[in-house]
């Protein structure tokens, strides 16, 4: 069965128009945004992030690693500080283990295209984002890489034993999301990492929905690679990302991009030392400056405190949504088993229509659709009906905002 085809812009415009004229929707009196789309990108940013970006553009404006005048040295210090803070946040062995990229997809592609060869086998899951699924699909077609997609249970959790049983003699890599961007379900990455620590496969963890949201140690989880965007839980600007490399794995990873690094410029081959082996061209220093400010905030507030806040928000949200007749909530009921990502479907509502209606009615901003995770939606049986409505609180979300969203969803569904 083929999925419903959407023109998202036309669909949202039509849905918004429909909702505006529904008699049960009152025009909002408070136009302040209630932003609940943090799984896509975080907003608002912490104090200091915008100032750091503007400060670089206004006061420094120098390239990174290309010159030795005062402002250029200040820029080099900013870039190093970003590596240092990220390494400390995720318990990496040192700043040199952190590659600065342009987003989470960039980080994942660097590993998948740089590691896998013809004849290799990859074990992954149905829970993965297209940032894993699409590179693997391309490698299947181009190199004949074999891929096994392990299913998950009704809550969205993958069994470690199922993953381990899928590993064979040709398995080069296990690619596993740390938390689903659809159900929010936390996956057993540490159990898998421990189990394969002395076996040939390497472990790639997609931490797009966990980095900055909860404390974890890349060493304790046994990860060889950890990829994450800088603009989601890490609270930095778009155009930033990170890739952690366990000591030694860089020798197995081919650089898929070559170019200027500002070092060993007399050579026409890419340097083989870190980070220059994988960082080509001028980095996004404005974004990196913002990332330094964002990670400073995360350190000051503490990941334990952020995790407690998001567990409280998720618990409140799930209970409220489960109390609404006609609403289906996907993923674990216990907030401790997930991140603050909650997907729902509502009887009688197309997901895009419901999302547009929430924005029109109260400026409640959520995301509808397949969330770049088609296999997950096939598993949930939401693929052919337009996916789900995803509600994702962040570190600055309040109970009052969630109550407004819950009440508005109940009113809209009840009136229909």
* Backbone phi, psi, residue 132, to 5°: -105, -45
Instruction: Give the residue from 261, 289, 266, 265 showing the smallest Cα distance to 276.
Output: 261
d(CA 12, CA 300): 39
Q: Which residues contact 120 (CB under 8 A, 6 or more apart)?
A: 143, 145, 146, 170, 171, 172, 173
- In sequence order, the β-bridge partners of residue 245 are 225
d(CA 72, CA 83): 17
Instruction: Give the residue from 303, 412, 408 showing the smallest Cα distance to 348.
Output: 412
* Strand residue runs (E) in 230-317: 241-245
Beta strands 34-35 and 364-365: pairing type? Answer: parallel
Burial zone of 385 (CB within 10 Å; 0-12 exposed, 13-18 middle, 19+ buried) = middle
* Catalytic annotation, pick one of 12, 127, 152, 372: 372
d(CA 376, CA 371): 9
Residue 52, preceding peptide bond in cis (omega within 30° of 0): no
Distance of CA 399 to the CA centre of its chain: 24
Per DSSP, the three-state class of 69 is coil
Q: Is there a catalytic annotation at residue 152? A: no
Per DSSP, the three-state class of 405 is helix
Per DSSP, the three-state class of 185 is strand
Q: Name the residues annotated as catalytic.
A: 372
């Amino acid at each position: 069965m083929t999925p419903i085809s959407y023109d998202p812009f036309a669909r949202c415009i039509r849905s918004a128009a429909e909702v505006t004229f529904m008699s049960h929707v009152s025009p909002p009196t408070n136009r302040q945004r209630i932003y609940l789309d943090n799984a896509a990108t975080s907003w608002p940013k912490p104090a200091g992030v915008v100032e750091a970006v503007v400060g670089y553009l206004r006061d420094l404006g120098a390239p990174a690693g290309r010159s030795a005048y005062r402002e250029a040295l200040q820029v080099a210090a900013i870039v190093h500080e970003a590596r240092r803070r990220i390494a400390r946040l995720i318990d990496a062995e040192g700043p040199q283990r952190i590659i600065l990229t342009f987003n989470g997809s960039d980080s994942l592609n660097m590993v998948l295209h740089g590691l896998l060869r013809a004849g290799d086998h990859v074990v992954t899951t149905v829970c993965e984002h297209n940032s894993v699924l699409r590179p693997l699909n391309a490698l299947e077609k181009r190199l004949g890489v074999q891929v096994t997609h392990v299913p998950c249970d009704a809550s969205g959790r993958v069994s470690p034993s199922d993953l381990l049983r899928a590993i064979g003699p040709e398995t080069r890599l296990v690619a596993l999301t740390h938390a689903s961007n659809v159900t929010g379900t936390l996956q057993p990455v540490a159990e898998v990492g421990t189990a394969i620590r002395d076996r040939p496969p390497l472990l790639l963890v997609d931490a797009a929905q966990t980095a900055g949201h909860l404390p974890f140690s890349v060493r304790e989880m046994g990860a060889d690679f950890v990829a994450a965007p800088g603009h989601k839980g890490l609270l930095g600007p778009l155009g930033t990302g990170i890739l952690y490399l366990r000591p030694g794995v860089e020798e197995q990873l081919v650089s898929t991009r070559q170019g200027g690094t500002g070092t060993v410029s007399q050579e026409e081959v890419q340097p083989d030392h870190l980070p220059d082996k994988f960082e080509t061209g001028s980095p996004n220093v404005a974004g990196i400056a913002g990332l330094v400010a964002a990670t400073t905030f995360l350190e000051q507030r503490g990941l334990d405190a952020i995790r407690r806040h998001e567990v409280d928000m998720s618990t409140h949200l799930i209970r409220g949504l489960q109390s609404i007749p006609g609403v289906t909530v996907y993923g674990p009921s216990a907030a401790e088993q997930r991140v603050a990502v909650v997907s729902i479907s509502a009887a009688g509502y197309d997901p895009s229509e419901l999302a547009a209606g929430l924005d029109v009615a109260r400026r409640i901003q959520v995301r509808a659709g397949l969330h770049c995770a088609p296999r997950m939606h096939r598993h949930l049986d939401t693929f052919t009906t337009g996916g789900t409505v995803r509600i994702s609180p962040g570190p600055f979300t309040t109970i009052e905002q969630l109550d407004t969203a819950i009440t508005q969803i109940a009113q809209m569904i009840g009136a229909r």
